[in-house]
Amino acid sequence: MSFSKDVIDKVIEENDIIDIISQYVELKKSGKDYKGLCPFHHEKTPSFNVSQEKQLYHCFGCHASGNVITFVMNMENLNFIEAVEYLAEKAGIKINEDNLSGNEYKTKKLKDEIFKANKLAALNFHRRLYSKIGHAALEYLYGRGIDDSTIKKFGLGFSPVNGDEVTEFLRNQGFSQEFLLTAGLSLKSVSRKYHDRFKNRIMFPIIDVKNNVIGFGGRVLDNSLPKYLNTPETPVFKKSKTLYAINYAKKSKEDKFVIVEGYMDAIALHQCGIDFAVASLGTALTSEQGKLIKKYRENVVISYDADEAGVNATLRGLDILEGLNLNVSISTVPKGKDPDEFVRKEGIEAFRKMLQNAEPLIEYKIKMYKKDIDLSRPEDKIKYIKKISSDLSLIKDQVKRDVYISIVSKDVQIPENTVRTEIEQFVNRFSKNNEKSRYTVGKIRHNNKYGSMKKSSSVKYLIALLLFDNKIYEKIKAKLNLHDINDDNLKLILDFIKGKLENGNKVNINDISYLMQDEKMMQEFKDIFEILYNIHLSDKHGEGQGSTISDKLIDDCISNITEMNLKLKISQIKKEISKTSMIGDIAREKELLLQLQKYEKEMLMLKNG
């Protein structure tokens, strides 16, 4: 699915970046721009900058950059199309279906229809819970301490035992049998008869952050298996991207989420006033769920069961949340109980106290790593030191790191310097890997050297310069043939810019934002956004006065692109010479050698200025 350029341009125009970001971040005026604490990483000193003039944001801490669409994508965990729809709705812009292609229209229509069918099914399940046929299910919920107010809040229901009531109900509402299969509400038997996916189960509607019913969880009333059954993956439901009760938890005034495993755990906590609880719909947190959490909170308490599955799920989730720079602590429910049972037997105050005493992430890991090993055995000592050193290497606070080094040193009865040495190895290894993979824009200055920049980086830099000041196009055109750009993605961007400028029009970053609909373009844009913001900042500080991007800056950039193009041509021609030599094509080999000589002469002239 994709939108026309006109639609995207209008959405950007009608959603001022300051207005949108201010809904998530407290911004304060700082010169021409605005500043605030970055919503994408934990920080105490504001490094998140927003330019109303350029409609861009950039964080100098985590290097997040973009425009109003990418901001919403990251904050609301949406893809490009979903972010455009979100902003269109916010601005009251009706996206005409005429703007969609045949396939795109079908996809949007299908999703809307599934939302509608799910909502109708949820209402049907809820009515059935309070009917005679749902009496046993209702008594079960009462027995678990769930009251009518909570049942209504979460839309709990019951799927009848006969197995085809909901299918027939929805068919009477105009939905086809094949559609109900696609929506995950029906199944087809071997005899090709359609029946309800959920039979004789308590139903838990799963609702997303936009309050759409995207799927269901169903719990049996007896001992049959599976105990819980979820909607399969559909065009609107991806279990790995969903958190149960997120629609309520995101509104909580608490500065954290408590993550539990099951529906009943989350519901019981909400009923007792813990309105910041969400459930992971299984035992293992996914990176998508972690990103969804990070959109709304920096602090997370994991409260899983203390059984083996619960502990293993906790450890898997820790690495995901840790990688997202969330502040994680662990509140382990006593063995043999889950949060729901604990609250019913011990009371909500006992649970609150347990949350307050939650262990910091590193302390929990230390405890888990020591479990079931014998620290008197050398091999277990080594295993333990290597595991915990990897985690300690990620702690930036030196005092905090030293405290835990002391604890580990005493655990294994070895000198603290030995632990520090092991930690340093992890730090150095991480630094080297990071150095290899990191793309560094660096500070933009008019005397910048481009010798160490990659070709693609130079082209992105050139694009950013053009977008910042359209007037330099003629200078670039006179010195560089844009057809020589070999990167297809970047060439597409340059071709659009060239077309606009050749026709006497102006162009800026938001004019080309429609190209981000292609996922392959997203990383290219991330870099361009960052470079562009740095150029803007340099100009704001007086290093550029209006249209004063220096000729030297342009020449250095063009020179680097030309050099990389020549290197590529020389490399290709050498390979071809080798092939022609092997087959004995002397005439072609001489021709290629002359070309090689020409390119090498050009390279020498370029290096000599």
**Residue showing tokens 């004789």:** 200
Cα separation values, 339 from 249, 348, 586, Å: 17, 10, 81
- pLDDT tens by residue, 125-166: 999 999 999 999 999 999 999 999 999 999 999 999 887 899
Strand partners, 257: 300
With residues binned 3-state (H G I as helix, E B as strand, rest as coil), the percentages for the chain, rounded to 5, are 55, 10, 30
How far from the centroid of its chain's Cα atoms is residue 327's Cα? 17
Q: What is the pLDDT of residue 437?
A: 32
pLDDT at residue 353 greater than cutoff 90: yes
List of residues 6+ apart from 505 with CB closer than 8 A? none
Could you tell me the sign of the dihedral formed by the alpha carbons of 562, 567, 572, 573, in that order? positive
Residue 137's pLDDT is 97
**526-536: buried (b, 16+ CB within 10 Å) or exposed (e) per residue?**
bbbbbbbbbbb
Q: How many CA atoms lie within 13 A of 147 on its CB side?
A: 6
Q: Is 329 helix (H, G, I), strand (E, B) or coil?
A: strand
pLDDT at 538: 75
Higher pLDDT, residue 433 or 388: 388
Rounded CA separation 520/311 (Å): 38
pLDDT tens digits along 280-314? 887 678 888 888 888 788 899 998 775 555 566 66
In the chain, % of residues over pLDDT 70: 89
Report the 10 Å Cβ neighbour count for 126: 19
Mean pLDDT over the full length of the chain = 84
Tell me if 49 sits within 8 A of 63, measured CB to CB.
no
- The number of beta carbons lying within 10 Å of the beta carbon of residue 458 is 21
The domain 455-607 is placed in CATH, from the list 1.10.860, 3.30.70, 1.10.3470, 1.20.1260, at: 1.10.860
CA distances for 489 relative to 456, 470, 484, 493, angstroms = 10, 20, 13, 7
Identify the CA nearest to 57 among candidates 515, 518, 536: 536
Q: Could you confirm whether domain 5-99 is CATH 3.90.580.10?
A: yes
17 pLDDT tier (thresholds 50, 70, 90): very high
Which amino acid type is present at position 125? Answer: F
Is the pTM of the predicted complex or chain greater than 0.95? Answer: no
What class has domain 101-237?
Answer: alpha beta
Fold assignment, 249-372: Dna Topoisomerase Vi A Subunit; Chain: A, domain 2 (3.40.1360)
- Cα–Cα distance measured from residue 539 to residue 301, given in angstroms and rounded to the nearest whole number: 44
Residue 31 in 3-state DSSP? coil
Residue 70 near residue 527, CB atoms below 8 Å: no
Smallest CA-to-CA distance from 221 within 141, 162, 167, 166 is with 141
Q: How far apart are CA 192 and CA 505, in angstroms?
A: 61
* Maximum separation of any 2 CA atoms in the chain, in Å: 94
In tens, the pLDDT along 81-138 reads 889 988 998 888 887 655 555 666 778 789 999 999 999 999 999 999 999 999 999 9
Distance (Å, whole) CA 118 – CA 111: 11
DSSP-derived secondary structure for 270-289:
HHTT-TTEEE-SSS---HHH
The yes-or-no verdict on residue 318 having pLDDT over 70 is yes
Mean pLDDT lowest among 416-420, 488-492, 511-515, 548-552:
548-552
pLDDT of residue 453: 38
Q: Which of 11-20, 440-449, 539-548 has the highest mean pLDDT?
A: 11-20
Confidence of residue 445 (pLDDT cuts 50, 70, 90): very low
Torsion of CA 425, 431, 434, 438, to 10 degrees: -170
For the stretch 419-434, pLDDT in tens is: 899 888 877 765 554 4
Q: What is the pLDDT of residue 163?
A: 79
Contact partners, residue 511, CB within 8 Å, separation at least 6: 9, 496, 500
Mutual angle of helices 551-583 and 586-607, in 10-degree steps: 160
DSSP letter string, 426-488: HHHHHHHHHHHH--------TT---TTS-HHHHHHHHHHHHHH-GGGHHHHHHH--GGG---H
Using DSSP, state whether 65 is helix, strand or coil: strand
Q: For the ranges 97-101, 258-262, 516-520, which has the lowest average pLDDT?
A: 97-101
